[in-house]
Amino acid sequence: MRRLPLISAALAVCCLVASPVFAQGDGAWQQAERDRQYQPPCQDRRGAGPDRSLTVGSTLPKALRSNQNVVDDWRAHNLSDPTWRAHWVQVGADYVLVEYLTNRIRAVRLNGC
């Protein structure tokens, strides 16, 4: 029975010492909330190209099908190995992986992502 008052006193001291820490406000909780709400600029974009119209499954426009847009050294651009029967095409600062025969876009790599 003597332990109960001792435990109660210890809990009261802990609460008194800890309360100023919790009352400070702009601490780690607010910073975590701000970090959670931040989205990198690449996540709000839907497609590649200047008008963001090049998405997976769409067809590469004829104006971009020339050999000058094809990326030969894909490793230097930090791109993955192109899949079979496909090649990387640079569209502005973005890259799209395009099938040879159908000109369908298999993958999109946005600048900075």
Q: For 54-88, how does the pLDDT look when each residue is reduced to its tens digit (9 = 90+)?
A: 999 999 999 999 889 999 999 998 899 998 899 99
Q: Quick one: how far is CA 44 from the chain centroid?
A: 9
pLDDT in tens, 6-44: 666 666 666 665 555 555 555 665 665 655 554 455 555
Beta bridge pairs of residue 59: 104
Of 45-49, 60-64, 73-77, 98-102, the poorest mean pLDDT is in 45-49
Question: What residues have CB less than 8 Å from 42, skipping those under 6 apart?
Answer: 110, 111, 112, 113
pTM metric for this prediction: 0.60
Q: Which residue is listed with tokens 């003597």?
A: 2
Rg (CA), the chain: 28
